[in-house]
Chains A and B, each alone.
Chain A
């Protein structure tokens, strides 16, 4: 077992429930490396919702809250308000973040509260059996869209930019070094950080979503798609113009004569 992995993982919970070749493990490793590099292990709490991707922090030997479907950001906001000196990291999926938790996502972005959100986008509801998710591309065949999806997919990065998140980036599981750097910068950024990771689901999505079944072939396809410009990767925004939510709340309270004890 990898020594760094072993020092961060709850070894009694292994083997993990991820299918062979799942991208969640790669994201878990990137997050571990970023947390270890920053040295914030003692000051970090992880929150997750429901879905395969929300199992990522449950194997980490950190403070973890596994919450109800779509409400990970709501719980994380509450945790951050109660413990403002701690860093809070949220692991969420495309269904969790954009479908049922879309409202919480918009408001957390607009508030610009100091959270780091890692959104694992595998284009499909993997845990429940391969249904269409809001991020599924047009004309993709899934269990609930057997003749091809008719909806336009929701672009999480554009949504976060529009709503005013201060750090927005998108990478894939085929770019683990850049992903680690993005999580590092997201944790350092004071404000809402949104990192979208295009991941692979070889079991449910591999049937007819990516056109490939082998995990390595899907990763290769992601690299080629990035090269040809079919998917846009990189850091979309990093600005410190907008004030962080807790600072604004304290400013407001100070005008009412409240002092920090």
Chain B
């Protein structure tokens, strides 16, 4: 499962991430960033395909996607 974090102090609320994510993982929220605008919220990180477009396209480097290894089922 992907762990997606959005830095409150970097985000400026430009709304580019909503458009570039192919799985529409980012959703609008009422949370405010330090710039004073609305910042995105993460919906269902299970669907992330690790394409990395949000990291490339975020103009302020606010988004970090890390891959968490899923626990292997021993059975």
Task: Give CA–CA (A176, B52) in the complex, Å.
Answer: 11
Cβ 8 A contact of B56, one of A15, A22, A33, A215: A33
Cβ 8 A contact of A215, one of B9, B15, B55, B61: B15
Contact A29 B61 (CB under 8 A): yes
Band of interface residues on B: 20 to 34
Contact B61 A219 (CB under 8 A): no
Q: Which residues of A contact B58 (CB under 8 A)?
A: 2, 25, 29
Q: Which residues of A contact B55 (CB under 8 A)?
A: 2, 4, 29
Q: Which residues of B contact A6 (CB under 8 A)?
A: 61
Cβ 8 A contact of A18, one of B15, B59, B63: B59
Contact A21 B56 (CB under 8 A): no
Known: A1-B7, A3-B64, A9-B61. A216 touches B15 (CB 8 A): yes
Give per-residue flags for B1-22: 1 if the beta carbon is below 8 A from chain A beta carbons, else 0.
0000001011011111011100
Known: A14-B10, A30-B56. A5 touches B37 (CB 8 A): no
Task: Give CA–CA (A5, B11) in the complex, Å.
Answer: 13
Task: Give CA–CA (A20, B10) in the complex, Å.
Answer: 10
Task: Give CA–CA (A216, B21) in the complex, Å.
Answer: 11
Q: Which residues of A contact B25 (CB under 8 A)?
A: none
Chain A residue nearest to B6 (CB atoms) is: A1
Q: Which residues of B contact A79 (CB under 8 A)?
A: none
Contact A5 B12 (CB under 8 A): no
Contact B16 A2 (CB under 8 A): no
Contact B9 A21 (CB under 8 A): no
**A16 near B: Cβ within 8 Å?**
yes
Known: A20-B37, A215-B14, A220-B19. A25 touches B61 (CB 8 A): yes
Which of B37, B53, B55, B62 gathers the greatest number of chain A CB atoms within 10 Å? Answer: B55
Which of A3, A20, A24, A177 gathers the greatest number of chain B CB atoms within 10 Å? Answer: A20
Task: Give CA–CA (A59, B62) in the complex, Å.
Answer: 15
Q: Which 10 A-B pairs give the minimum distances between C-beta atoms? A: A25-B59, A5-B61, A21-B14, A216-B19, A20-B12, A20-B14, A176-B56, A2-B61, A1-B7, A2-B64
Give me 13 A-to-B residue pairs in the complex whose CB atoms sit less than 8 angstroms apart, sorted by A's number. A1-B10, A2-B61, A2-B63, A5-B61, A14-B9, A15-B60, A18-B60, A20-B12, A20-B13, A21-B14, A180-B56, A215-B14, A215-B15
Interface residues of B (CB under 8 A from A): 7, 9-10, 12-16, 18-20, 34-35, 37, 53, 55-64
